[in-house]
Structure formats: structure tokens, C-alpha cells
Amino acid sequence: MSDQVSPSSGSASGAGTVSLDTAHQHGTGGLPAVFENPGLPPHVHRAADDDPVAAKRAERQVAALFVLSILGTVGFIVSYFTIDYTKSVFIPFIGLTNLLNVMLGVTLGISLLGIGFGVVHWAKTIMSDEEIAEDRHELRSTDADRQSVGVVLAASGESAQLARRPMIKATAGAALGLFALPLTVQLAGSMGNPTKALDELKATIWDVPAGGEPIRLVRDPELTPIKASDVTIGSVFHVMPATLMELREHNLEQGHAEYHGVLEAKAKAAVVLMRLNPSEFKDDALGRKAREWGFEGIVAYSKICTHVGCPVGLYEQQTHHLLCPCHQSTFDVTRDCEVIFGPAKRALPQLKITVDDEGYLVAPQGFAEPVGPSYWERLK
């Protein structure tokens, strides 16, 4: 085995000691030129390292990628404010898709890719890629080393060529700065008018227009009306509003696809219906509301969990608990579906029901509060 030499010894003995080439000696912090070979390959110069024209071309390419990111961000914002969220577009092999979602995804992807490819191309063609070897030292730097940190950072900045490449500096700053706007725009758009946002969360196809007839409850998926006499104690029905069929018919009349917007409306309007003995409701305020908004012990609640929107479909007849299978949030039906366990922060919204002249269950009004996951104005 060949003799080993410490880099700090400054002496050589044995065949294991080699001399570094000029590139490896450069920037080693004063290490001797002769020490154990670290195994680094010889440095290979790139075109941009030696040719100013190639360097300028690479700079333009990086700047073009950052400009592409800027255009993607601007396209996202323009799409967010100008495209009607009800419009659809047909995409081969995918089918009918929401146009706004497509444009937001495409423009945000372009914005991300522009930044990512720009940074990678910058590092590959312009930034210094020279590998160096330096001696190990104690964990605490010397006072002199600490004082030289500023110098090292300045040298790193010079190596990145920020000062010499103003085009990259300007376009990279603009791309990274503008990239924060999509999130800001969506957040501001949601919270800028809380009253309007909450009204939109409450709006479902259960809403009865002024002077309109109450909406019948129909079985899901058969869409057949339900009589109060059909609902026995302990039974559970998954129901939808009869207006779901009207929405499909309206689409056909307007020349839209039959199911245009139907799935979204259905997901938001899902309701679970069950019947209890009226005496089983608690005597407090929550229990009284459950009785008053129901009909002879029949009550209806939103099926969408107020945690993250999973379907609440498991009913325990003996305990009168509704269970969300995703994260085990549990709601007490005898007390207006109050949360008694799990991460959900508020009760399931109740749908007020009664019967019409033919004995069918109907909803005289929509939900009085937003359905789905908790919103920012309530904790429970």
C-alpha cells in the first residue's frame, strides 16, 4: 500500500501523492499544490466560459424562459378574471372539461416551468461549475474565516454573474415576484367580500326562488319522490332535490351537454334523511331546532362533512350518530348534528322539511348556512 500524506504537511512521500492540475488548485484556500488525489476529474470548460458570444446567447435563453414564466403568470390572472367558470371545452381523449380549470392549470404550469427551466439552464451554462477540494478543519471557523464570510458571499455572487447579467437579474426577479400573484389573487378574491363568498357557499339547488313551490326530496340515484310514510324509524335515505332533473332538462334546452354542471350541483346538494322517535330529540335548543325543522321525527342534513367534505353516510341507529368514514368525525342527530368527536369544527347544516298535499316530503327553503368544510367566520 502506498504511503499517505496529510494535505497540511506540505511534504510528499510515496507513490500515492500526486499534483493537482491548475483548475483544481484554484480556489483551494491556500492548500499546498501537492497532496492526495481527491479523485476529481479535470475541469472541462463550456462554450460560455470562453466565448462571450456563447455566454450572451445563453443569457438570452435564460431570460426568455423567465419571460415565458411571466407570461404564464399574467395569463393565469387574466384567465381568472375573464373566463366564465360555467364554460366548457372539448379536449380529445379527455372529453368535455371546464375551460377555466384548464386555462388556470396550463398557465400556472407554464409559469412554474419557465422558472424551473430558467434556473436550471442558468446553472448549467453560466454559473461556475468548477469543482474544488479543500482541507477539512475544525467545526468552529477561525475569527479570520468568520470575518471573510462577506468576501466569500460576494465572490459567490460574482460567480453567479448576477452583476454582469442584468437581463437575467431583471427577468428572474420579475418572474419570481409575479409568481406570488396567483395565490394572492385567489385569496383576495375569496376574502375580499366575505358576505358574497358565504352566500355562494350557501347557494345550492335546494334554494327556492321567491314565490316558488317547495322542492320535493327524491331518492338518489333513482330520483323518485319520497313520502313521509316511506320513512320508517331507523331507516336512512340518501336524497337529492327534484331540481336536479330540471337542471338536466335546462341544459338540453340551452344546447349544453346534458350533465353540464350537474355533478358539481349534485355533490353540493347531497342530503341524508332519517327518522327518529320525536321523544329521542334532546330538550335543549339544539334538540328543539332538530324537531322544528323536521317532520314527525324525520330530519334531513347535509351529507358533506364540515371537516374536508367527505360524504357522511354511516348512521348508527342505536346511538343516533352520523359518522364520517374519512376521519371519524361524529355528529349527534338528536342535537342538530352537533360534533361530538373528530376533527370537524361545526355541525352538519340542517335542511328544513315538511310535506305537500300529497304527503311527499318537500323542502320549503334551502340551507340557512354554508355546506361543506368549515369557513373562516366560524370555529364550530
pLDDT of residue 126 exceeding 50: yes
Examine the pLDDT at 104 and tell me if it is beyond 50. yes
Percent pLDDT > 90 in the chain is: 34
Mean of the per-residue pLDDT values of the chain: 80
Three-state SS sequence of 114-173: HHHHHHHHHHHHCCCCCCCCCCCCCCCCCHHHHHCHHHHHHHHHHHHCCCCCHHHHHHHH
Cα–Cα dist 287/289, whole Å: 5
Of 210-214, 224-228, 268-272, 331-335, the one with minimum mean pLDDT is 210-214
Domain locations in the chain as residue ranges: 53-126+161-191, 199-363
Total residues found in the chain within this entry: 380
Is the CATH code 2.170.150.20 the one for domain 199-363?
no
pTM, to two decimals: 0.51
Distance CA 254, CA 188 (A): 33
User: Does pLDDT of 154 surpass 90?
Assistant: no
pLDDT in tens, 294-308: 999 999 999 999 998
pLDDT single digits (tens) 227-270: 999 999 988 999 999 888 777 777 667 666 656 677 788 888 99
- 192: CB partners within 8 A, 6+ apart: none
